[in-house]
Structures are given as structure tokens and as C-alpha cells.
Amino acid sequence: NALPCPSGGSKWPKTGNRVIIPYEISRAFTKQQRTTIEKALRDFSFGERTTCVRFVRKTETDINYLSFVSQTGCWSYLGQTGGRQLISLQRDRCVRKNIVQHQALHALGFHHEQVRSDRDDYVIINYKNIIQGAEHYFQIVPTNNLGTPYDYHSVMHFDAYAYSKNKQQTIIAKNKFITKFGRATEMSDNDYARVNRLYEC
């Protein structure tokens, strides 16, 4: 579910065997919220599952970096855009581990799971139940799936009722044994594997 990045321009550069991504966190967040953000980013590098991506605090010499701010909603740009790159985590609803990792994965170059190129093999999208104006969140993208399977439990997957206008499902799994999805509390094994494949860790 990654950006195709044919020229590599949307990927963060690799130095040696590491992808170093500087970041700053707005003082608008509480100390506890800043800790939550930092712990979520640390999981990319340390723990049972790891990647070669390292999020490090920005220094004065860093030109390209992520800037975590509290604006309206939870959102991020796709891939590296250059310069100060905003990630919005609205203070009263977005500062959770899964959301921080979700937005960080966008910044690394990953789309939502349910828009990947082969999604029609795995889910049905009920467009009639989607809030008007939100349809673009469900449109298929010609993604680079990196040889990884569709993952209902990816932190990048919407839940069954995402953007519903009538409390009816907007996404239905074709696998009848999959009844709950899009509720990941943290990155899945596939999420880690994809980062490692995209950045050749």
C-alpha cells in the first residue's frame, strides 16, 4: 500500500543502513501527550519488531523534518515533501499510539490499506453508506504492495463503519470469518515488514 515512488523522490533518504527522520513536537501538547508521541515513534526502532527507520529529535541544522502540531483532525502528507512537514494530531482526540503510527506511516509513504490496488479481492465498499464528500478515502490507488498480503489488521485499515452517514457498514470483509478490522492499537507485523521492504532495511 505504498506510493510507487519510481524515482525514490517520495521516500526519506537512507544514510548507511538507517533512515533518520528528524522531528519536533509542538509545545501545545502536554508533557504526557509528547511522551505518547515519542513512545509511538520509538516502536519503529526498538522492541521485538523493528525497522531501520529512526525518528530523532530535530536539531538546528535539519532542513527536512516532521513537525507534530495540534490542528483540526488527524492528518499527514504522503511521503517526504521536503522542509517542515506537518503531521496534525488534534490534542483532544488524536494523541493515541495507533493514530501517531498511522500518520507516521503516511509520512513514510504509505496509503490506507483499503485503497490498495488489490483491495476488491478482500473487501466490498458500500459507497451508498459513505458521507458525501468522503468517497475519495475509498478510491483504489495503484499502490506498490511490496509483496505483502492484504492486512485487515494493519494500523492503516479503516474500520467497518468509517465515514458512515447512516450507521451502516461502509466496508465489508469478503472473508466471512473476518468480522472485526480496522481497530489496530498499534502497527501489525505486516506494517513493520512493509517499512523494511520499502526502505530496503
Q: How does pLDDT run across 70-95, given as a tens digit for each residue?
A: 999 999 999 999 999 999 999 999 99
For the residues 155-171, what does the mean pLDDT come to? 97
Q: Does 136 appear as a known binding residue? A: no
62/15 Cα distance (integer angstroms): 14
Residue 16 lies in a domain: yes
The answer to whether 36 and 89 have CB atoms below 8 angstroms apart is no
On the question of pLDDT at 6 being above 60, the answer is no
Where is 84: in which H helix or E strand?
A: strand 84-89
Cell (9 digits) for 32: 504526557
Assign 187 to helix, strand or coil: coil
Residue 52 lies in a domain: yes
Higher-scoring residue by pLDDT: 113, 7: 113
Q: How many helices (H) and strands (E) does the chain have?
A: 3, 7
The answer to whether 18 and 55 have CB atoms below 8 angstroms apart is no
Residue 82 lies in a domain: yes
Q: Does 153 appear as a known binding residue? A: no
In the chain, pLDDT over 90 holds for what percent of residues? Answer: 92
Total number of domains in the chain: 1
On the question of pLDDT at 96 being above 90, the answer is yes
Q: What is the pTM of this model?
A: 0.94
Output the CA torsion 134→96→124→77 (10° steps): 50
Which residue type is seen at 123?
A: V
Residue 165 lies in a domain: no
Q: How does pLDDT run across 165-194, given as a tens digit for each residue?
A: 999 999 999 999 998 999 999 999 999 999
Confidence band for 7, pLDDT divided at 50, 70 and 90:
very low
Assign 59 to helix, strand or coil: coil
Residue 75 lies in a domain: yes
Q: Does 157 appear as a known binding residue? A: no
CATH number of the CATH domain containing 16: 3.40.390.10
Residue 64 lies in a domain: yes
